[in-house]
Amino acid sequence: MGSDRRRAGDAGRAADIRVVIIGGGGTGAAILHDLTLRGFACTMVERGELTSGTTGRHHGQLHSGARYAVGDEEIARECMDEVRILGRIAPESIEMNYGLFLALSENDVTYGDTFQEACSAAGIPNRRLSIEEALRHEPAINPQAHFAVLVPDGTLDAYRLPLQFFATAVANGADVRSFTEVLSVESSGVAATGVTVIDYRTRRKERVPADVVINAAGPWGGQVAGRAGIDLPITPAPGTMVAVKGRLCNMVVSHLHPPGDGDIVVPQRRLSVVGTTQWETDDPDRIRTPEGDIRSLIRRGGELVPTLADAEFHAAWTAARPLAGRSSAGGRALSRDLEVYAHAADGLDNFYSVIGGKATVLRAMGQAVSDILCSDLDLNLPCTTATTPLLSHRHYFRRAS
């Protein structure tokens, strides 16, 4: 009974705590949803349309974690856990079409045992198939491959999934403001007191008061932190993706080797997407898609799915990943894991920055940030997002109409 009374009292306290979340991508959506469910008064601001940054530009792979299993068992296990959770709370935005990792060279053959052992250690189901068996599952793959490993990869809709988080958060009282950019983070002493924003639709500036400010601006997080006078260790790492016309394969097809460029083909509706390359930039607003990347991705994608090499080109685009830390080696050495920075050490007690993560683990990222905030505020408010079904993405537009 004492614990129940404490929790009820903490829920009342949370309702009086105003949280401003900066960034309308998947990370911001998951944090907004989680904190709103815990009872906080939340406002989210996004300088463009929702998901118009990195979130809306990835290739949409639902990672079983197999890609990361050799290098990071913890991330791999988390991916597998979140695939199962998303299947329960957001089935309309995912497609469990499974994946094949192809061994194309003798080095890949050697790597295969290490790969399968790492997948098993991380709790990821995996099964080696002869190339004849694999071709029965997926006739489009390279018939010259030595063998394939079957894993529970899938695809997700990069727009609809975060919109399900937004729709549910708004239904629970959150305020979402798109086309609204943060100009400055206001503070008094060692505490953030709000943000000054401009609404680009009305050209009106406004101060939004806050008791907590969370910087979830992705690769633009360093710029946002700079508006609070904070130097944030972040590496914006752009990568190119190419889409060709035609759903050339129904499964996600990957190269069985340590993660590199152009080693994944993802089916998305009536397209096939090849990803990705990686380099670094100082300004994610000034990135261009290199012609050489397009040619390289099509060539490498064709090694996995031969018909891709001659397929009709549809589009190429580039998105910047927000990697935690600083790198001078293209960013591949930096972890994809989530990092949460509480900036009390930088002189601002209630300002937080969130870097890294992956679309597959959006929900877990929201929980991690919200758990840290509740701990810092001494609030006993457990996470319920793993068992709360999300509203359809369509509810977001019904609410707006």
Highest-scoring range by mean pLDDT, 233-242, 278-287, 377-386: 377-386
Question: 269, 304, 323: which is the final residue of a domain?
Answer: 323
pLDDT on residue 11: 78
What's the pLDDT band for 27 if we cut at 50, 70, 90? very high
**Is there a domain that residue 315 lies in?**
yes
**Is there a domain that residue 87 lies in?**
no
More confident site: 99 or 337: 99
Say if residue 227 is in the same domain as residue 329: yes
Say if residue 340 is in the same domain as residue 393: yes
**Is there a domain that residue 69 lies in?**
no
The span from the CA of 337 to the CA of 75, in Å, is 7
Say if residue 188 is in the same domain as residue 228: yes
H helices within 44-159, ranges in order?
73-89, 106-121, 131-137
Question: 323, 344, 379: which is the final residue of a domain?
Answer: 323
The span from the CA of 311 to the CA of 247, in Å, is 10
pLDDT on residue 331: 46
Query: Are the C-beta atoms of 312 and 244 separated by less than 8 Å?
Result: yes
**Is there a domain that residue 312 lies in?**
yes
CATH code of residue 197? 3.50.50.60
CA-wise closest residue to 155 among 265, 40, 25, 11:
265
In sequence order, the 6+-apart residues with CB closer than 8 A to the CB of 60 are 155, 156, 157, 158, 266, 268, 273, 359
pLDDT tops 60 at residue 269:
yes
pLDDT tops 80 at residue 366:
yes
Cis peptide before 168, with omega less than 30 degrees from 0? no
Say if residue 43 is in the same domain as residue 121: no
The span from the CA of 59 to the CA of 368, in Å, is 24
Query: Are the C-beta atoms of 170 and 112 separated by less than 8 Å?
Result: no
**Is there a domain that residue 89 lies in?**
no
Domain count, the chain: 2
pLDDT on residue 62: 96
CATH code of residue 276? 3.30.9.10
**Is there a domain that residue 76 lies in?**
no
The span from the CA of 87 to the CA of 75, in Å, is 18
Query: Are the C-beta atoms of 93 and 160 separated by less than 8 Å?
Result: yes
Say if residue 187 is in the same domain as residue 307: no
Query: Tens digit of pLDDT for each residue in 148-157?
Result: 999 999 999 9
**Is there a domain that residue 239 lies in?**
yes
**DSSP letters of 256-276?**
SSSS-TT-EEEEETTEEEEE-
Query: Tens digit of pLDDT for each residue in 249-267?
Result: 999 999 999 999 999 999 9
Question: 323, 352, 381: which is the final residue of a domain?
Answer: 323
Domain containing residue 140:
94-155+235-323
Percentage of the residues of the chain whose pLDDT score is greater than 90: 86
Query: Tens digit of pLDDT for each residue in 190-201?
Result: 999 999 999 999
Query: What pTM value is reported for the model?
Result: 0.94
Query: Tens digit of pLDDT for each residue in 319-329?
Result: 998 988 765 55
**Is there a domain that residue 70 lies in?**
no
Say if residue 334 is in the same domain as residue 315: no
